[in-house]
Amino acid sequence: MTLDELKQELDGLFSIYEWGQDPVMSRWVPRVYQSIAYDHTRVLEPEFCGRFNGLMLRSAETVEQVYCAAFPCPEVVGEVLERAKGNTLLFLHHPVDMEVSGTGFLPIPPKALEQMKARGISIYSCHAPLDFHDEIGTNASIVQAFQMQVEQSFAEYGNGFAGRPA
């Protein structure tokens, strides 16, 4: 499949164009790259740098394998770099890592981004639209796992709601 075809499918599935800027990632992505004095806009897709969801890094024109992860932690990025044979898509829930010992969000290291680009590994990241997807989102999956019924959503967040009481 071409990367553009897969991008179009994912953009449609998650209604990327209806979302506008991701409320959280639009603050954190620029901040974490500024903290290391790296101009992420030189490498990351211009459309991603406006929405902070969608195709993040374009590295190949076709996709033959897909890896999925919640965060681009060093272990995940290292494994993908080691295993991927090119024409690969890394689908991420978060476009930045979450370091839990007090540092907070961390960027994908520039060297890793350059290696991914050179090895034909593209990145697609979908944060809020994945969380709030009515069928496969994180909230929907929890509701389904517990066989609950949603009464109403609450805690408005971007174009969706962060909470679903059941």
Instruction: Confirm if 153 and 164 have CB atoms less than 8 A apart.
Output: yes
Q: Please give the chain's pLDDT, 166 residues, in tens.
A: 999 999 999 999 999 999 889 999 999 999 999 999 999 999 999 999 999 999 999 999 999 999 999 999 999 999 999 999 999 999 999 999 998 777 789 999 999 999 999 999 999 999 989 988 777 777 777 777 888 777 776 666 666 666 665 5
Instruction: Confirm if 96 and 72 have CB atoms less than 8 A apart.
Output: yes
CATH fold for domain 3-127: 3.40.1390
CB atoms under 10 Å from CB of 98, counted, come to 14
- Which residue in 47, 38, 44, 51 sits closest to 127, CA to CA? 51
CB atoms under 10 Å from CB of 157, counted, come to 16
Instruction: Confirm if 130 and 64 have CB atoms less than 8 A apart.
Output: no
Residue keyed to tokens 């540092």 = 103
CA distance 104 to 112: 19
Segments making up each domain of the chain, as ranges: 3-127, 132-166
Q: What is the pTM of this model?
A: 0.89
CA distance 66 to 79: 13
- Which residue in 134, 129, 136 sits closest to 157, CA to CA? 129
